[in-house]
Amino acid sequence: MNFEQLNIFSDDENLEQIENEIKKLREEIVYHNKKYYDQDEPEISDYEYDKLTQRLKKLESKYPQFITKDSPTQKVGGTVSKLFDEVKHSVQMQSLQDVFSFEEVEDFTKKIEDEYDNIEYIVETKIDGLSISLEYKDGIFVRGSTRGDGFAGEDVTQNLKCIKDIPQKLNEKIDIEVRGEVYLPREEFNKINEELEKKGKPLLSNPRNAAAGTIRQLDSKLVDERNLSIFVFTVLKGPEFDTDSSRLDYLEKLGFKVVQIRKVSKNIKEVLSAIEEIGSLRDELLYDIDGAVVKVNNLKVRDEIGKTVKVPKWAVAYKYPPERKETKIINIALQVGRTGQVTPMAILEPVRLAGSVISKTTLHNFDYIKQKDIRVNDVAIIQKAGDVIPEVIDVLPQKRDGTQVEYEVPKVCPVCFEELEKEENQVALRCTNSECPACIYRSIIHFASRDAMDISGLGQSNVEALIDNNLIKDVADIYYLKYEDILKLDRFKEKSAKNLIDSIEKTKSNSLDKLIFGLGIRHIGKKAAKVLAEKYDDIYKIMDLTVEEVENINDFGLTMAKSLVEFFSKAKTKELIEKFKNAGVNIEGKKSDALSTKLENKNIVVTGTFDNYTRDDIVKLIEQNSGKFVSSVSKKTDFVIAGEQAGSKLNKANDLGIKVITINDFLNMINS
């Protein structure tokens, strides 16, 4: 998405276009929520994510008719992992409303002060870690859990007991539940990465994800080794206080490590000054922060101000703008993705940026290098928006000293040395060798991911260990792993080895669409995989399809058709399918026979609201009667089903002279 064009539509623009954008934004945000909260593997920066959510909030605010209960603006992003017991939170653990300018902070304080006099604020560091709850009975630590979706989280008590800064016994015998942020100190993060680099293993991307991933480990020994820490910042259940500042002082007396930098401010000038001061200290802190929290100090006033379903209305989190720094490009290396795509990576002179030391970053593609005229030994400007590996924004030609070397686009794969191919109208170069070790590693990671086969315990490090020990050479080999072989590896104990075998066994009964998506076929996403699994009896029927047959499937285009047919025509693919079948992996589809062919070859649009029917209900009826649901009106539309509050689609249908029918007309049509 182009963030340069994040302006709001004018009132006379097409509501259909707005609704479609809202849906796409929701899908994108939900995807990135899973990567961030559940998998601890974000693909975009905080800054980019915040821009997406800002855009969605603005559109939903201006067009409230499109707000849904499941919108990511209406709930916290995380979910509860199946690996841990679920904990129902007695008090909802909410997130904070983000703001990005001093003007927004001023708006926040003005709204408060319009209603209340003599308001104090407390400004403190926003720790970049994993939010958790700690419960104590008679002063003894009894349970700890993650935030999850705010209403329920994961029981990670045993792992939290390994964190030295979490007191096992308080200085008073008291029943209390507190909330804090578990984090990995920068020094520990750097030590871990140094060790990983020596062993030639993948580096941790940033302290926040390292902390979150560590807390979710099944082996508490690793948690103990990683010297995590915590800052406690509020009470969820316990004694009552007049102010947040006095409550924090009390928590400190109990023995908790509380947020260190906090300032009570009496007006907006002091609030903004505190935000600036915290920002100036970012590089000096021993831990990462991604903003400053501004909260009303008076707790009774907080109760009166209240909250929304997702955020408290008495606090905001000011997010600092992206940092930029100069560093030198020492070299340009190559990496190979799961589909064989080869992408360039800049190897940098290490530089501290936004809380972590950066030594490499993506260069996107070879056209990007050419466009920016990026050369080895160039001085580059890099930007990091908070939590992921940054990008090279530009280079500084005026700082060239004659040692710079123009980059030559590679001709062979850096891993298997097979010749690279470039498809027509494509930027990327690709290794087409199915035996390439780099492709195998990434294909297995994808295959085991949650949206694919969802095999718990097959993370990057474990996959690497299995490949290094020649236990798996392709995705189908996963189903031939033996408990005794896994147990021999250093990474596994009896319980973790058994858990992995059990997890693998469980996925044998997954629906076919999971398997198809897991195979990593280019241009075939989750939706396309589901369409195929529901349209055909088994995977063999899909393997026999021609390009023309695939192209005629609803929502499939020529590019998707060619990719699918090419993939299933390979001898290696056929070998994989047989291995899956022999291992007992489900390869059967769920072909749903049409109720009738009354709507065959009909393109149908649905608009408005209907009594007793949701839009999904109507779409299902269309498809069950062989029709094709389309989202927009065009000359190819056969008719429009219009309900109450039908908008621009109805107008367009009338302008084009397309037939418009009611829901009753439609039901009579398919039931006659």
Q: Which pairing describes strands 341-353 and 429-430: parallel, antiparallel, or unpaired?
A: antiparallel
Determine the Cα–Cα distance for residues 385 and 359; give it in Å rounded to an integer.
Answer: 16
pLDDT confidence of residue 37: 53
Name the 3-class secondary structure at 369.
Answer: helix
CA distance 50 to 24: 15
Q: Which residue's structure tokens are 């990026």?
A: 374
Query: For residue range 183-201, what is the model confidence (pLDDT) as tens digits?
Result: 999 888 888 877 776 665 5
Read off the tokens for 568. 């299933």
Pairwise CA distance, residues 156 & 214, whole Å: 11
Distance CA 50, CA 27 (A): 15
Positive or negative: CA dihedral 602, 605, 611, 612 = positive
Tokens found for residue 39: 């998998």
Q: Which pLDDT score, from 0 to 100, does residue 264 have?
A: 96
Q: Give the C-alpha separation, 443 to 182, whole Å.
A: 32
Nearest CA-CA partner of 160 in 127, 185, 135: 135
Q: Catalytic site residues? A: 126
Q: Looking at residue 451, what is its pLDDT?
A: 83
357: helix, strand or coil: strand
Residue among 312, 316, 290 at smallest CA distance from 150:
312
Residue 470 half-sphere exposure, CB side, CA atoms within 13 Å? 0
Q: Quick one: pLDDT at residue 36?
A: 58
- Classify residue 282 by its DSSP letter: G
For residue range 224-268, list pLDDT tens digits in order: 888 899 999 999 999 999 999 999 999 999 999 999 999 999 999
Q: In the prediction, which pLDDT does 7 show?
A: 37
- d(Cα 314, Cα 297) in Å, to the nearest integer? 9
Which mean pLDDT values do the consecutive 10-residue runs of the chain (672 residues) have? 33 64 81 61 63 78 72 57 72 87 94 91 93 95 89 88 93 95 89 72 71 76 84 94 95 95 95 94 85 95 87 92 87 83 90 76 87 94 67 92 93 88 74 79 88 87 87 94 91 88 94 93 86 89 90 80 92 93 92 76 86 80 83 87 83 91 92 82
Write out the H or E segment, with its range, that includes residue 262.
Answer: strand 262-265
pLDDT at 419: 87
**Distance, CA of 522 to CA of 171 (rounded, Å):** 59
How far is residue 490's CA from residue 553's CA, in Å, rounded to a whole number?
Answer: 48
Q: How many residues does the chain have?
A: 672
φ, ψ of residue 443 to 5 degrees: the values are: -70, -35
Structure tokens at 78: 């995380």
- Domains along the chain with CATH numbers: 3-74 (1.10.287.610), 86-319 (3.30.470.30), 323-422 (2.40.50.140), 437-583 (1.10.150.20), 603-671 (3.40.50.10190)
Q: Is 423 helix (H, G, I), strand (E, B) or coil?
A: coil
Q: 3-class SS at 582? A: helix
Give the residue among 229, 331, 237, 265 at the shortest CA–CA distance from 121: 265
Q: 86 in helix, strand or coil? A: strand
Q: What's the token pair of residue 147?
A: 């935030």
3-class state of residue 22 by DSSP: helix
